[in-house]
Amino acid sequence: MTRRIQIVAVAGALVVVLAGVGTFAFAQGPGGFRGRGPMAGPRAGLPLEALNLTDAQREQVRQLMQQHREQTRPLVDRLRAAHEAQRQAVEAIPADEARIRAATGERAAVEAELAVHRARLQADVYALLTPEQQQRAQQFRAEREARLKLRRNRR
C-alpha cells in the first residue's frame, strides 16, 4: 500500500512541475521566451507592463513595434545569411583567414545596424512616456543593471 502512495505522490509532484512549466511558457506570450538574438528581450528594452501605460500609449507602442519589425526584417534576414556565411568560412578546409574576417566583418556590421534600430525604437518608446513613467523606467533599468552586476560577480 505504501508503494502506491509513493507512486501517487511522485505523479502528483510531476503534474505540479509540468503545470508550472506550462504556466511559465504561456506567460511569455505568443513569441515565447526570448533569449539572446537580434530581437531579444522585452518590448524596446523597457518594462512596459510595469509602467501602467494608457490605452493611447499602448496603441502608439504597438504601431512603433510594427514599424520596427517591418524595418528590421530585412536586417534579420541579412544577419542570418551573414551568420551562415561566417559558419561556412570557419568550417572551410583549408582555413581562409581573409574569408573568415570578411564574413565576420559583415556579420558585425549587420549586428551594429540592428543595435542602432533597437536604440531608435527604445528612444521613440521612451519619448511617449510621461516624466513619471520615464523615472520608473530608469529605476527599473538601474535595478536590472544591479542584478546583472551581481550575477557577473557570482561567476
Helix (H, G, I), strand (E, B) or coil at 58: helix
- Please tell me whether the overall predicted TM-score, pTM, comes out greater than 0.75 for this model: no
Residue 97 cell numbers, joined: 583567414
Alpha helix segments (H runs only) across the chain: 2-27, 55-91, 97-128, 131-154
**Which cell numbers hold the place of 137?**
523606467
User: Taking 60 as the threshold, does the pLDDT of residue 6 lie above it?
Assistant: no
pLDDT of residue 45: 63
Predicted confidence (pLDDT) per residue in 97-151, tens digit: 999 999 999 999 999 999 999 999 999 999 999 999 999 989 988 998 999 999 9
Contact 45, 138 (CB under 8 A): no
Q: Yes or no: say if 87 and 55 are a contact pair by the CB < 8 Å rule.
A: no
Q: Domains in the chain, ordered, with CATH?
A: 2-27+60-154 (1.20.120)
Contact predicate 63/97, CB 8 Å: no
